[in-house]
Amino acid sequence: MSRLRYWINTFYSYIFRDIWRIFLSTLVGGISLYLLVFSVLFLKEAYKSKHYYRVFITVSNKTPHSDFTRIQNFLRSSENNIKLKILSPVEKLKKLSIKSEEIEKILPYTIIAYSSMPLKLNFPSDLKAFIIRVTSTPPGEKEFRRVLSVVRNFFIFLSISLLFGTILIIILTLHLSFISHIEEIKTLQMLGANRTFINIPLYFEGIFTGITSSIIAILMFLATEFLLKRYYPPLLVLLNGIEYDIISISSGILLGIAGSFLGTIFLLRMEEAS
Amino acid sequence: MIELYHVDKKYPPGIYALKDITFKVEKGEFVYITGPSGAGKTTLLSIIYLSTRPTSGKVFVLGKDLTRIKPDHYPKFRRELGIVFQNFRLLKNRTVYENIAIPLLIRGMDTEKIRKKINYLLNFVGLYSKRWSYPDELSGGEQQRAAIARAIANDPFLLLADEPTGNLDEEMSIEILYLLKEINLKGVTILLATHNKDIMKLFPGRNIHLENGQLINEQTKILD
Ligand SMILES: Nc1ncnc2c1ncn2[C@@H]1O[C@H](COP(=O)(O)OP(=O)(O)OP(=O)(O)O)[C@@H](O)[C@H]1O
Ligand SMILES: [Mg+2]
């Protein structure tokens, strides 16, 4: 019997209570993370719309690769300060195992060109055949404000309150389990256990709760993303890039751990004060 | 070794659990604390193991003023004591072995030493065959013996035993008393709270008798 063994046994006897609470916190946590990611994307687009002329060039997805590259090169040469964002959902959709005929029906390529000057695009005639549509928006203070207020008033508010909700549920979960072994803690105190000895299994438990919650949250996040993209493919335009997945995954784990850790410390302080 | 001077313990709304208690216990003594239910026996012991703070008065243990020990140092002080609680306070989800191991784990003793020590203790209290049982699977007397083994695991200089024979039949009570006497003979000071008069007749000893929180003249109540 070693200390570590004792702590693991204790942790094991604490865990697997209030499992439903973990799921609840997960649900709330997952939704809040999702909204947070959306808010970030919204803001990013909004800032671009403030500073750049944006031209959306819709290109047929039957365009041969070489011609598609020529279109890009043509765009790059048309203006010194141009940035291109190429949205080619075909590859992504293939990964999602949607049949390619359907893809062609659904989505062309989209190129978003950001430029500080207005663009006049006269595509060479052989390329013109592949261009389905060109729409252009000037930098708009108004639009920026509108997007910003939507983000601020709705998404940020909602996601932050949901984040608090998650932390609250984690704390409640810990509180319940804490109460359930308060007698045990008192006995240990009377036997001369110091704070560290008592707290370590509680931290194990807190962190376990946190990690479990975040892992389930992440799975839900990814599943939702998958379904959304599958049934509403244009979302690929917004949810584009692995960085957001990484951000949300890591923030989910951090949230879980931080919530549990803070919760545990908080409860132990309260208990000591009483 | 233990000195109490004019100790009061008042619980709201003004009930005195202890009133003006003054006595001294020397090293190696075996002292009964007796009195009817509610007399203040548990309260008195809990003041000594720092679970309750006296409302007024002074308490010294080994010359240390208990009212001046900072809460941070409570654990260190308690590790030097052995406590047998009135309701055992064994951890339910732990085997007898683990329960006895706890004070040693708290101390940070290494695994092999713990194993040897626990085997010794289990034999001493006669629970070796029950070492992997959980408290709920033990009889009252067995639980009591497990609690005693846990209390003496750390070789305390002072053993505080609160009703260690409560709810036990006479045979079992005598067995427990022999165990405690044996511990006492090894030099451990023992304060034993009880209202079992038969036991006191069989094992006479100094008696601190409480009634309504007040100390009634010592010794006189032993054989009434
Ligand atoms: N935490 C508390 N709050 C209020 N009153 C208390 C508290 N603990 C004890 N008391 C009161 O103090 C008095 C003494 O209690 P104590 O537990 O010390 O008695 P006891 O002699 O151990 O009794 P028993 O033989 O039944 O164990 C009782 O009147 C009890 O109601
Ligand atoms: Mg009592």
This prediction has a pTM of: 0.67
- Ligand 1 atom 14: residue of nearest CA: B40
More confident residue, A247 or A184: A184
More confident residue, A195 or A258: A195
3-state class (DSSP) for residue A251? helix
CATH value at residue B157: 3.40.50.300
Looking at ligand 1, which atom is closest to the CA of residue B40? 18
Q: Note the pLDDT of residue B223.
A: 43
- Tens digit of each residue's pLDDT (9 = 90 or more) over A13-33: 666 555 555 566 666 666 666
Percentage above 70 pLDDT, chain B: 96
Q: A271 — contact with chain B (CB < 8 Å)?
A: no
Nearest CA in chain B to A196: B106
- Ligand 1 atom 17: residue of nearest CA: B42
Among the residue ranges A171-180, B60-69, B126-135, B209-218, the one predicted with the least confidence is A171-180
B19 located within any domain = no
Number of domains in chain B: 1
The secondary structure of chain B as a DSSP string is -EEEEEEEEEETTTEEEEEEEEEEE-TT-EEEEE-STTSSHHHHHHHHTTSS--SEEEEEETTEEGGGS-GGGHHHHHTTEEEEBTTB---TTS-HHHHHHHHHHHHT--HHHHHHHHHHHHHHHT-GGGTT--GGGS-HHHHHHHHHHHHHTT--SEEEEESTTTT--HHHHHHHHHHHHHHHHTT-EEEEE---HHHHHHS--EEEEEETTEEE-SSTTTT-
Q: How confident is the model at residue A59 (pLDDT cuts 50, 70, 90)?
A: confident
Residue among B3, B57, B49, B60 nearest B26 (CA): B3
Hey, CA dihedral for A257, A258, A263, A265, is it positive or negative? positive
Asked casually if ipTM beats, i.e. exceeds, 0.90, the reply is no
- Tens digit of each residue's pLDDT (9 = 90 or more) over A108-132: 788 888 888 887 888 888 888 888 8
Verify whether the Cβ–Cβ distance B89 to A187 is below 8 Å: yes
B43 Cα to the center of ligand 1, angstroms: 6
- As residues whose CB is below 5 A from the ion ligand 2, the structure lists B 41-42, 86
Contact B32, B84 (CB under 8 A): no
Q: Which residue range is the domain that position B115 belongs to?
A: 28-50+73-219
Q: B48 — contact with chain A (CB < 8 Å)?
A: no
Nearest to A6 among B75, B105, B115 (CB): B105
Contact A63, A101 (CB under 8 A): no
| DSSP run (H or E) holding A53 | strand A53-59
B117 located within any domain = yes
Looking at ligand 1, which atom is closest to the CA of residue B46? 18
Residue A183: its chain B contacts at CB < 8 A? 89
Domains and CATH numbers, chain A: 3-46+144-273 (no CATH), 53-138 (3.30.70)
Verify whether the Cβ–Cβ distance B76 to A190 is below 8 Å: no
Among the residue ranges A154-158, B167-171, B174-178, B207-211, the one predicted with the least confidence is A154-158
More confident residue, A132 or B96: B96
- Tens digit of each residue's pLDDT (9 = 90 or more) over A91-103: 665 665 656 566 5
* C-alpha dist (Å) from residue B4 to A203, A248, B15, B60, B82: 40, 62, 20, 6, 19
Nearest to B106 among A2, A9, A193 (CB): A193
Q: Which ligand is nearest to the CA of B194?
A: 1
Q: Which ligand is nearest to the CA of B12?
A: 1
Q: Which ligand is nearest to the CA of B213?
A: 1
Contact B37, B195 (CB under 8 A): yes
3-state class (DSSP) for residue A193? coil
Among the residue ranges A109-118, B80-89, B119-128, the one predicted with the least confidence is A109-118
Distance from CA of B91 to the nearest CA of A (A): 6
Nearest to B98 among A1, A189, A191 (CB): A1
Report the range out of A66-75, A148-157, A254-263 with the highest average pLDDT: A66-75
Q: At what angle do helices B140-152 and B111-125 cross, to 10 degrees?
A: 140
Q: Note the pLDDT of residue B221.
A: 41
Question: CB burial class (10 A; 0-12, 13-18, 19+) of residue B108?
Answer: exposed
More confident residue, A193 or B219: A193
User: B151 pLDDT exceeds 90?
Assistant: yes
Give bridge partners of residue B61 from the DSSP assignment.
B2, B64
- Cis peptide leading into residue A118 (ω within 30°): no
Report the range out of A159-168, A242-251, B28-37 with the highest average pLDDT: B28-37
More confident residue, A115 or A260: A115
B208 located within any domain = yes
Nearest CA in chain A to B151: A191
- Tens digit of each residue's pLDDT (9 = 90 or more) over B103-112: 999 999 989 9
Q: Note the pLDDT of residue B78.
A: 94
Q: Note the pLDDT of residue B82.
A: 94
Verify whether the Cβ–Cβ distance A3 to B105 is below 8 Å: yes
User: B184 pLDDT exceeds 90?
Assistant: yes
Q: Note the pLDDT of residue A25.
A: 63
Nearest CA in chain B to A182: B91
B192 located within any domain = yes
Q: Note the pLDDT of residue B222.
A: 43
Contact A191, B106 (CB under 8 A): yes
Nearest to B78 among A6, A184, A191 (CB): A191
- Ligand 1 atom 3: residue of nearest CA: B11
Note the Cα B81 to chain centre separation in Å.
9
B204 located within any domain = yes
Distance from CA of B67 to the nearest CA of A (A): 17
Q: B10 — contact with chain A (CB < 8 Å)?
A: no
B57 located within any domain = no
The span from the CA of A127 to the CA of A34, in Å, is 39
Distance from CA of B106 to the nearest CA of A (A): 6
Q: Note the pLDDT of residue B224.
A: 40
B22 Cα to the center of ligand 1, angstroms: 19
B163 located within any domain = yes
B90 located within any domain = yes
